[in-house]
Structure 1
């Protein structure tokens, strides 16, 4: 039985398309979409450092907006890059000291770069033990992502026991690394608010433990890169675990 027949018809209005990254071992070019690897940096820009331990942060992900599916470009734009850097230092344990599981943590940097036409800094020194790079070669569409029951409840939709069971059997919302769709929240609905306008931020990318990145968020948690719909330069990352 396919997911179209498993999902209750009452959820049809909530359907969104999510996209799994199609990845391969090895780095992409400096402007390419990737997990880890070498980021595009301005010609005079050093590799981003964690302000807590002063060591290079890991590049978790870089998205080239021009390579995203068209419906995602409508929300995010079709030029430039999104980058997420994260400190994985264990001495000091910046993840804990800076509370990196909360949005806008000091040891995490999420940003947008609009202009990547200039020559890049190819000699910046990154982490001593960088994660293995995985280039993103494409996006596989999942046309029927829907919210979990907690988010549906917040949206004013109460599921019947039968519909809730069907949602669980369909494994929705989709877990794992994905672009767009509905977040698979671990500890309840946790959209951050934009510090500029207080608007609820929107999820851009879900990053799961040990999927395309060899990293675990706490006890098999998942994180979400989010962006303000009114201020596209305001991005952040937060995660939760079981």
Structure 2
């Protein structure tokens, strides 16, 4: 079944034309509980991991296996994020255990799916992993959507628009930040789903601002109103990835597409 995000309840570009040049596209993954196979795009599912390649362990908890978070085949996605040359599979893992100074330790891995022969079984998550840090196995339903910045608005533009945001909210009940701007959930591209001030990292190699690659958030809805709930899911209960990252926060993965090896980093926002 496809998943279709309903149109924004108000016309963002007519109400706030200043944000039109800042429009970006994102791919919402819409994970739903299922039984993905190692060769499928998935959230929390088994990975297409070569049998001859050791499974990655947490560098801060030796002997503790990382858990599968996201696996995406290029062929399953809109042509939005450029994959590295010769690679067609994105894999994100992280250690779900608590670490001094940070919550998760992620690993971003690009590979060529056709080069994987025998597949290594995906190990079980650590028994002492905190609740909400190991995603439930899910199939995905990628969908391209438009986004507008919220926390990523400059201070000057936010100050100029805030009175109009407040007026629209008072008149319609729709909040720009939660209902009109940035899509929540697990997504590729677009804007990070900040719940606090934006913290874009610079690449330590070249010093330029890194690109947002992936957001992994706890929830697929922001506030009441079901503004972001897919049309197909509005009338019944459904199970997603079951994540609860901090106070319903998220993990945002960034990469540098200029430096060799495409170095990556992340921000954790609780």
How high is the TM-score relative to the length of structure 2?
0.72
Q: Secondary structure at the match of 1:17?
A: strand
Residue 232 of structure 2: aligned partner: none
The answer (yes or no) to whether the contact 1:46–1:125 under 8 Å persists in 2 is: no
Compute the RMSD of aligned alpha carbons.
2.8
Q: How does 1:1-80 map to 2 (within 5 A)?
A: 2-4=9-11, 7-53=15-61, 54-70=63-79, 72-74=80-82, 79-80=87-88
What CA distance in whole angstroms lies between the structure 2 residues aligned with 1:121 and 1:98?
A: 34
Q: Write the deviation string for residues 53-89 of structure 1: whole angstroms up to 9, x where unpaired.
A: 221111111121222112x144766842222211123
Segments of structure 1 that go 5 or more residues without pairing to the other structure are 90-94, 102-106
Considering fraction of residues, name the structure with more strand. 1
CA distance in 1, matches of 2:266, 2:15: 30
Q: 1:76 to 1:178 in 2, by over 3 A?
A: farther
1:81-103 deviation per Cα after TM superposition (whole angstroms, max 9, x unaligned)? 222211123xxxxx3326246xx
1:213: which partner in 2?
241
Give the whole-Å Cα distance in 1 for the aligned partners of 2:87 and 2:247.
36
Q: Which runs of 5+ in 2 are unaligned?
A: 1-7, 128-133, 169-175, 221-239
With normalisation by structure 1, the TM-score equals 0.79
Aligned residues: 226
Q: Is the 8 A contact 2:27 2:144 kept in 1?
A: yes
CA offsets per residue over residues 103-146 of structure 1, 9 Å max, x none?
A: xxxx321222245423042335342557431021x322322x11
Mapped pair 1:99 → 2:128: no
Other-structure match for 1:141: 144
